[in-house]
Amino acid sequence: MRQIDVNKLADEAKFNRFHGLVLFWCAMVIIFDGYDLAVAGIALPSIMKGMGVDATQAGFMVSSALFGMMFGNIIFGAVADRIGRRLVIVLCILMFSVFTAAAGLMTEPISFSAMRFLAGVGIGGVMPNVIAQMTEYSPLKMRATLVTLMFSGYSVGGMLAALLGKGLIEVYGWQAVFIAAVAPVVLLPLVLKQMPESMAFLHRKGRIEELKRTIARLSPGYVPQADDQFVFNAVGKPKAENQSSFGALFADGRGFSTLMLWLSCFMCLFMVYALSSWLTKLMAQAGYSLGSALTFVLVLNFGAMIGAIGGGWLADRFHIKYVLAFMFALAAVAITLLGYPMSTGVLFLIVGVAGATTIGTQIVICAYCGQFYPMACRSTGIGLMLGVGRAGAILAPIAIGIIVGMKLPLEQNFMAISIPAAIAVLTILLVNHSRSDLVRQQQASGQGEARIPMGQPAGAHK
């Protein structure tokens, strides 16, 4: 009988075709997700005009999807640890595709908001699961890079929404970009067939033969044998019968850091959804045409993609807390500058930096959270962080909508969006990195500080 350390195999595996397949499907899911989330902000000026609503009402309409996302983050993150990620991912894609398309058929604010709430449940539910999936299947030395590369699909989806918005809204009306969201449904059979299930889930359910096949694809050097016994690193791991419990997030000294991750996510998502929801309107208010204002959304999401990939690259080489703190500080400066007069070229650059340090930072913090918790409660941990953070996303469109309705100078609108970035610098620095699952695994395996993750200097655990 031989004992197979699944965590070690996953950590030390060399990137291969199987990793590429997981990356491809997780990225595709996030592209779909990003499109469905961005489409409301893209169409907001047209929706306000078509339905005759003011800025405050529009803020509540946008927040309906974000409110649904809070439920989706919390519910489906925990459910996936019990029924499997693959099924949850497929159900969530079905939900957000169908209900986003249905929102395009609505003609008044209440029914539109109801459809967006239901779409939001699916949008929120899929996020923690693809993050956990990519984290579980990524080699340790490039884990943050792969997770952020995958999550950069969020920005691709936002850019796709902006491009379609420029081409469709003026010709066919805002409804067209919503109805187009149903397209991913045709790919669901392929997702079910090609997306692997969580290895920890397969082990818990006794699906050992499927687990052996999955590990063999993950690490081709592994040759299955009949008497193989599989173990997962148990350091900081909740009891088997309660593997997805809320209490596990606060066990082994992780409690304070869990709260700091939640607060950091709250601040980050406030900025992300304030910009996603109101940038088009604020730029139109500043005198830019609809087409030009949508171009700013393209630049915002392009910057987000660069920020996500670049942030992941930096996180694999330097201490991730300091990478995140730097990105938050830069966000505070960039967003504040957006309210001041400058040349169009410089403005595009600043918008790109704002995207890199808000949407991009959200992606990096999700990668960090995915590595902070043990595999058995990873989806729960990410889901709850995003669920609590989603309160910031819900608050942002409403709060900024009220501020926009007050007819304040443009710079004060952007200053209001930048304040959370300054707060997030402090909260992310208060996370105790020594309590992360990665450090504990290294200590348990006797590696000590020889393999501090993400380029962390030896001894710099906190």
State the pLDDT at residue 443: 61
224 φ/ψ angles, rounded to the nearest 5 degrees: -60, 140
Backbone phi, psi, residue 64, to 5°? -60, -40
pLDDT of amino acid 152 = 79
Determine the average pLDDT of the residues in 151-174: 81
Sorting pLDDT into bands at 50, 70 and 90, what band is 24? Answer: very high
Cα–Cα distances in Å, from 452 out to 221, 236, 438? 25, 18, 8
Q: Is it the case that residue 119 has pLDDT exceeding 70?
A: yes
Quote the strand ranges of 275-364, DSSP E: none
Looking at 63-67, 93-97, 138-142, 434-438, which range is the least confident one?
A: 434-438
Q: Which residues of 390-419 are buried (b: 16+ CB within 10 A; e: fewer)?
A: bbbbbbbbbbbbebbeeeeebeebbbbbbe
Distance CA(11)–CA(4), nearest Å, equals 13
Q: How confident is the model at residue 454 (pLDDT cuts 50, 70, 90)?
A: very low
* Residue 459 neighbours by CB under 8 Å, 6+ apart: 449
Distances in Å between the Cα of 423 and the Cα atoms of 206, 271, 312, 429 are 45, 12, 22, 10
Which residues neighbour 319 within 8 Å (Cβ) at sequence distance 6 or greater? 433, 454, 455, 456, 457, 460
Is the model's pLDDT at 118 over the cut of 90? yes
Q: How many CB atoms lie within 10 A of CB 284?
A: 17
pLDDT classification of 441: cutoffs 50, 70, 90: low
**pLDDT higher than 80, residue 459:** no
pLDDT at 245 over 60: no
* Pairing mode, strands 229-231 and 3-5: parallel
Most trustworthy range by pLDDT among 165-169, 345-349, 369-373: 345-349
Q: What is the pLDDT of residue 268?
A: 93
Greater pLDDT, 63 or 443: 63
Q: Higher-confidence residue: 324 or 42?
A: 324
Mean pLDDT throughout 423-439? 83
Tell me, which fold does domain 3-455 have in CATH? Growth Hormone; Chain: A; (1.20.1250)
pLDDT score for 297: 78
pLDDT digits (tens, 9 = 90+) for 326-345: 999 999 999 999 888 888 78
pLDDT tens digit string along 85-99?
A: 899 999 999 999 999
Contact 337, 411 (CB under 8 A): no
Distance CA 362, CA 351 (A): 16
Q: What average pLDDT does range 365-369 have in this prediction?
A: 84
Mean pLDDT computed over every residue of the chain: 81
Q: What is the pLDDT of residue 444?
A: 58
DSSP codes, 97-143: HHHHHHHTT--SHHHHHHHHHHHHHHHHHHHHHHHHHHHHHS-GGGH
Closest by CA to 79, choosing from 312, 406, 416, 384, is 384
The pLDDT of residue 329 is 95
Within 13 A of 281's CA, how many CA atoms are on the CB side? 29
Percent of the chain with pLDDT over 90: 23
- Helix, strand, coil shares of the chain as percentages rounded to 5? 80, 0, 20
- pLDDT at position 127 is 82
With beta carbons less than 8 A apart as the criterion, state whether 230 and 208 touch: yes
- C-alpha to C-alpha distance for 150 and 134, rounded to whole angstroms: 8
Q: What is the mean pLDDT of residues 279-283?
A: 76
Q: Looking at residue 117, what is its pLDDT?
A: 93
The H or E element spanning position 449 is: none
Contact (CB, 8 A) for 193 and 113:
no
Res. 286 pLDDT band, cuts 50 70 90: confident
Q: What is the mean pLDDT of residues 426-445?
A: 74
| pLDDT of res. 237 | 43
**Per-residue model confidence (pLDDT) at position 325:** 92
